[in-house]
Structure formats: C-alpha cells, structure tokens
Amino acid sequence: MRSEIISVTTGSRETVHDITAECADFVRGQGGDGLLHVFVPHATAGIALLELGSGSDDDLLAALRDLLPPDDRWRHAHGSAGHGRSHVMPALIPPYATIPVLGGSLALGTWQSVALVDLNIDNPQRQVRLSFLSD
C-alpha cells in the first residue's frame, strides 16, 4: 500500500472543499487497478462523495445547519459558538471514503466528486491521507 498526506486550507467558514483533482493525481501515478482510501484524521471533519458546483455543496451545509444547529445546546462547548456540532458531524459524514480505481483512474460516477466537509471554523488547516491499495 502506498500512502501520502495532502494539506488542505479550509479557511474560517464552514466548507465543502473539492479534493477530487488531488485524489485523481495520486492514483494516476499508481497505475493499474485497486482502491483509493481517503481519510481525514480529525475529529471534526468528514469525507463525502457528492456532486459539487451545482449548489449541492451549499445544500449540504444548509442541511447540516438544520440537523446540527450552531448554537449553545452542545455539551462539548470549547471553541467558537456551536463547536460541539463539529464533533457530532463525523457520525453523519464519516472521516473516510473508499473509491475503486480502474486503470489508474478514479471510478467515480459522472457527477461524483470527493469532498472534505469541515464545519470547524477554529481549525483552518486539515490533513487528508490518501492510500492506494493495488490489486
């Protein structure tokens, strides 16, 4: 298995950050078939496979605000207001995804992208581990 860490700057607001190009570049160098495992080693971020750029990313953030409001209800209460919801989010959007790789290319659906989902405005730097397991 080959593994590499990429750094992602998410900024100071909730975000759905597209990392599809970085994932595609990583597997292109591996050649052949296998699996790409994408993992974010943070307790407040997740990896999602979804359509991006057509409003779906904003819809996802709106849905998460509805499900996990940024208010003072959270027992985990350090950091900015509503920070506790960031610690609950990975139960809904897991910190990993596994994607088939065929002939050195991601076998995503036509409109699927790989995204880092981050509600934690207190930590603008994230690491994502890409691991390729060949057949």
Q: What is the DSSP track for 97-122?
A: EEEEEETTEE---TT-EEEEEE--TT
Average pLDDT over residues 87-94: 94
Of 102, 118, 111, residue with least CA distance to 55: 111
Say whether domain 2-133 belongs to CATH 2.60.40.1180.
Answer: no
Average pLDDT over residues 38-48: 96
Q: How many CB atoms are closer than 10 A to CB 127?
A: 13
Rounded to whole angstroms, the Cα distance separating 39 from 96 reads: 4
- φ, ψ of residue 69 to 5 degrees: the values are -60, 140
Q: What's the whole-model pTM score?
A: 0.93
Rounded to whole angstroms, the Cα distance separating 31 from 25 reads: 11
Of all residues in the chain, what percent carry a pLDDT higher than 70? 97
The pLDDT score that the predictor gives to residue 22 is 98
Q: How confident is the model at residue 77 (pLDDT cuts 50, 70, 90)?
A: low
* Residue ranges covered by each domain of the chain: 2-133
DSSP 30-60: T-SSEEEEEE---TTEEEEEE--SSSHHHHH
Average pLDDT over residues 126-131: 97
Report the amino acid identity of residue 3. S
Rg of the chain over CA atoms, in angstroms?
Answer: 15
The pLDDT score that the predictor gives to residue 63 is 97
Instruction: Quote the Cα angle for 63-117-99, to 5°.
Output: 110
